[in-house]
Structure 1
Amino acid sequence: MKRVLLVWHSQGGRTGRLAEAVAAGLAQAADEITVCNRQALQATTTELLEADGILIGTAEQFGYMSGAIKDFFDRTYYPAEGKMQGRPYGLFVCAGNDGQGAIVNVERIATGYGWKRALPPMLVKGEPTPEQLNAAEEWGATFAAGLSIGLF
């Protein structure tokens, strides 16, 4: 059985709603994968190292990722360095502006871990609509399906 670590941070609730939708999509493959769903400040290095795939969810804050996601990276990067080459990851961002700074900087750090991007980043500007929440669920289901069959 494959493991997915879903790490996210939400201050105002928008990114949390996206994370819930992504988790619902992941749950569709419950027979093939297990999900460790953690808010960023509670996620551990051990959970990261045990993951076969990683999904990161962040709000855009001041044109950057949230401080809690940055904290997760700060705590786990060196202990995981050189141990995660080729692991698939995905990123979803809830932005108040354009979200590009958050995407670029998370992708830069993911490259340092040696992760490979499995899906294009999902970017939602403002309050997620029902359509965007449905798309987030499909995005999570796609990641789960691809991981379970070895596509990523």
Structure 2
Amino acid sequence: MKKQLLLIAHAPSANLQRMRDAIVEGASAPEIENVETRLLSPFEAQPEDVLAAQAVVLLTPENLGYMSGALKDFFDRCYYPCLDHSQGLPYALCIRAGSDGTGARRGVETIVTGLRWRAIQPPLICRGDWREDFVEQCRELGALAAAGLDAGVF
């Protein structure tokens, strides 16, 4: 049975959609054989989606110095149903930040610390004006998450 990598992505702009698609592309590399990537928006994602996953990648824009309202809504709905059932869940965070991303990072990390999820790497924060290398960084993040899950590293 394939392991499931859940990508919860709030991608309201064309650039965030490119970042989201790059994460999926990286996670779907042909050498990753035993991982299925499931993509949901924060509005679609439910507690049972989290509980069915073996790892999660979160993608959010920085909005007003914080995570997107959509991602916050996801956490508001899923926190307590997942609290006692998803401890140790490996996760990765990607933030598209117009400024420094600090508030968005802190907000997400506070919540996932409460959930006792485990970061697989430091957050990827794509800061400042748009750069094309953000897409490649997201592709690498998706590949790392799926390859680590496939290899049983986490």
TM-score tier after normalising by the smaller chain length: over 0.9
Partner of 2:104: 102
Shift of 1:22: 0.7
Q: 1:102 to 1:96 in 2, by over 3 A?
A: same
Partner of 1:55: 57
Once residues 51 and 62 of structure 1 are traced to their aligned partners in structure 2, the CA distance between those partners, rounded to angstroms, is 30
| 1:140 counterpart SS class | helix
TM-score (norm 1): 0.94
Once residues 111 and 15 of structure 1 are traced to their aligned partners in structure 2, the CA distance between those partners, rounded to angstroms, is 25
Shift of 1:11: 2.6
Q: Does 1:12 align with 2:3?
A: no
Shift of 1:74: 0.5
TM-score (norm 2): 0.93
Question: Does structure 2 conserve the Cα–Cα contact (< 8 Å) formed by 1:4 and 1:52?
Answer: yes
Shift of 1:125: 2.0
AA aligned to 1:99 is G
> Following superposition, which runs of at least 4 residues in structure 1 exceed 4 angstroms of deviation?
none
Give the aligned length.
152
In structure 1, runs of 5+ residues without a counterpart are none
Once residues 34 and 150 of structure 2 are traced to their aligned partners in structure 1, the CA distance between those partners, rounded to angstroms, is 6
Question: Does structure 2 conserve the Cα–Cα contact (< 8 Å) formed by 1:82 and 1:114?
Answer: no
In structure 2, runs of 5+ residues without a counterpart are none
